[in-house]
Amino acid sequence: MKVLGVNGSARKTWNTATLLQKALDGAASQGAETKLIHLYDLNFKGCKSCFSCKTKGGKSYGKCASQDDLTPILKEIETADALILASPIYFWGVSGEMKSFIERLVFPFYRYAKPDAPNASLFPRKINTAFIYTMNTTEEQMKAAGGESLAALNKRFLGNVFGKTPESLMSFNTYQFDDYSKIDQERFSEEVKAARRKEFFPQDCEKAFEMGKRFAQSN
Ligand SMILES: Cc1cc2nc3c(=O)[nH]c(=O)nc-3n(C[C@H](O)[C@H](O)[C@H](O)COP(=O)(O)O)c2cc1C
């Protein structure tokens, strides 16, 4: 049982990576082998629209033909039993690195099949997937900004390719800077953020841990 986590934040010890690590810890607590991949350590580009992965009879059919640091990661994902992606929200999307990663991950397995056709995915198995999001705003602000539709779209893409219904975990109102007094900002109160980090972030960590545990138990 192998559970892979992919971190789309440049910060390896902050909100996104912490939640992802908790999810992997949950899986490991049930005996799963886990691995955390930091996208910002890798040199790679998004999809180049070469369509090698969709060329009938081609040697890259169903696989990404681009060769870079993502190539071995995509290969490893083919043998994973669960996959957890995690990203900070940047301008109401996922981070640029995560977006490029999703293009390279999802497109090769995604067939332009007829709607609702049973053979729409080239991924050989059905595995659990999840997306963890962290963001500065509150849940209410996220809803007002349409953040739920972003999560729903990612759920659809992941579900279409990897088979099982994906899970989403959102962590709101995260603590963003080492020292709020040094940053030019008038919007956030350090006290509110610190209180939030103390009270709610551990609850999100617990939810992530439980999700990882569930994934490991369900295989
Ligand atoms: C370039 C940039 C854009 C951001 N855009 C948003 C945004 O649109 N909405 C939001 O709620 N937070 C936004 N944030 C805040 C981050 O999503 C939030 O601080 C997140 O928890 C950071 O994750 P990390 O601590 O793992 O790096 C932005 C941060 C940066 C650096």
- Nearest protein Cα to ligand 1, atom 5: 90
Which of 90, 142, 178 for mutating ligand 1's site (highest number of atoms within 8 Å of CB)?
90
Can you tell me the distance from the alpha carbon of 77 to that of 71, in angstroms, rounded to the nearest whole number?
10
pTM of the entire predicted model: 0.97
Residue 170: pLDDT above 80? yes
Nearest CA to 143 among 135, 194, 199, 154?
135
- Nearest protein Cα to ligand 1, atom 3: 90
pLDDT tens, position by position, 114-136: 988 888 999 999 999 999 999 99
Q: Is 38 in the pocket of ligand 1 (CB under 6 A)?
A: no
The per-residue pLDDT for 74 is 98
Question: Which atom of ligand 1 has the smallest separation from the CA of 93?
Answer: 8
**Which residues does 166 contact at the CB level (< 8 Å), separation at least 6?**
128, 129, 130, 131, 154, 155, 158, 159
Can you tell me the distance from the alpha carbon of 129 to that of 4, in angstroms, rounded to the nearest whole number?
10
Q: Is 200 in the pocket of ligand 1 (CB under 6 A)?
A: no
Give me the residue spans of the domains in the chain: 2-217
**Which residues does 90 contact at the CB level (< 8 Å), separation at least 6?**
96
Q: Is 14 in the pocket of ligand 1 (CB under 6 A)?
A: yes
Question: Which atom of ligand 1 has the smallest separation from the CA of 134?
Answer: 21
The per-residue pLDDT for 51 is 98
Q: Is 127 in the pocket of ligand 1 (CB under 6 A)?
A: no
Beta bridge partners of 34: 3
Beta bridge partners of 35: 4
Can you tell me the distance from the alpha carbon of 26 to that of 28, in angstroms, rounded to the nearest whole number?
5
Mean confidence (pLDDT) of the chain: 96
Which of 89, 98, 205 for mutating ligand 1's site (highest number of atoms within 8 Å of CB)?
89
Question: Which atom of ligand 1 has the smallest separation from the CA of 137?
Answer: 11
Residue 15: pLDDT above 70? yes
CB 78 within 8 A of CB 47: no
Q: Is 89 in the pocket of ligand 1 (CB under 6 A)?
A: yes
The per-residue pLDDT for 65 is 98
Fold type of domain 2-217:
Rossmann fold (3.40.50)
- Nearest protein Cα to ligand 1, atom 2: 90
Average pLDDT of span 11-40: 98
The per-residue pLDDT for 116 is 81
Angle at 108 between CA 105 and CA 112, to 5 degrees: 125
Q: How confident is the model at residue 219 (pLDDT cuts 50, 70, 90)?
A: low
Q: Is 60 in the pocket of ligand 1 (CB under 6 A)?
A: no
Average pLDDT of span 82-97: 98
Residues of the chain with pLDDT > 90, as a percent, come to: 97
Q: How confident is the model at residue 32 (pLDDT cuts 50, 70, 90)?
A: very high
CA of 90 to the centre of ligand 1 (A): 5
Average pLDDT of span 190-204: 96
